[in-house]
Structure formats: structure tokens, C-alpha cells
Amino acid sequence: MTRDRLDPIAPHELPPLHASLGAPAPESATPVFAVRIEVLPDETSALVPHANNIVILGWVDLAASLHGAHAGAAREEIARDGRMWFVARHEIDYLAEAFAGEPLVLATWVERAGRTSLLRATAIVRTDGTPIARARSRWAFVDLGTRRPTAIPAEVLARLTGGASGDGQSAKKNPVRSEV
């Protein structure tokens, strides 16, 4: 099974994101990108019919990919420029089970940004805000020719963070920290 179309959730339609997920406060300038999904039957484990842990990792990646595309920095576009995001680390806390047919919300935001990498947080919650999983991922911006980290273009970082360029100049307007 596949997901046909995943449209972003407007900020005012987001379910409450519990503080334990590390979500920015609603009044924060840090933008949260979110989409609704439904757990598909083939995303559950064979022996215990809940969402498979590898599927949850895939949702973390899906949220990052969709956020990039929504911000005008789709993976296909940056790959054409000879760059790509590479995962350096994923850390996932599994907090509750999710079952086939259950509607969920994938929410993601950039917590910190540096010259060549960023720390992205992801929350997977039920539509009432009940946490299913939380993740933190370090993403390195890599030159595909050299396979070495390269500077994240200011315009890409600004689109992902809602205006913070990573140079510390816009940190007053946007609390995304720039010391990664």
C-alpha cells in the first residue's frame, strides 16, 4: 500500500503537542510542519499487530522529506545541485502502540542548526495529541561529489526554520539555535 497524498496541517489545526515531546511552544516563532497519516495494515508487525519500529523510523524520514519539499528544498532539487541530507544519527523513544487504521499526526521542526548539519525533532502523536513516539535526528548536508559535509545554504536553512539563517543574525526573531 502507498500513501497517495499528504497535505500539511495548518498550525491552528495541530493537535496539542505535549511538552515532553520537546515541541516548541505555540507562541514560538519555530515553525512546526505536520501531516496526517493513517497506519496502513502492511505497516504492522506480523506477530504483534502494532506499527512496526522500522515503519516508525520511515515516518521520521517521511516527515523530514515532506518538510523539505514544503519549504521549497525538496530532496530532488538539492540532489540536482549535487547535495543531499545524510542521516548521522537517529534517536527514537517509542511511547505507545499504534494500530492499523489509526489516524496519526507526524510533526517535525528544526531544533538547532549549524554550518553543515541540523538537529531535527519529530513527534508522532494521535489526533488528540497522545504521544506515540518522539525522535531526534542529526542530518548532515553533504556534497555528493566529495561525500563530505558542506555548508547548508542560508536560503535552505531559512526556509526550514522559518527565517533563521544559522548565522546567528536572525536568532533574535527565531529561537532556532545555531550551535550544532
Which ranges of the chain would DSSP assign to H, the alpha helix? Answer: 53-70, 75-80, 154-161
Measured between alpha carbons, how far is 32 from 22 in angstroms, rounded to an integer?
Answer: 12
The SS3 of residue 117 is strand
Of 13, 48, 32, 42, the closest CA to residue 127 belongs to 13
The tens digit of pLDDT for each residue in 3-45 reads 566 888 887 788 877 666 677 766 566 789 999 999 999 999 9
pTM across the whole model: 0.84
Question: All 3 cell numbers of residue 22?
Answer: 520537546
The tens digit of pLDDT for each residue in 51-83 reads 999 999 999 999 999 999 998 889 999 999 999
Domains and CATH numbers, the chain: 30-161 (3.10.129.10)
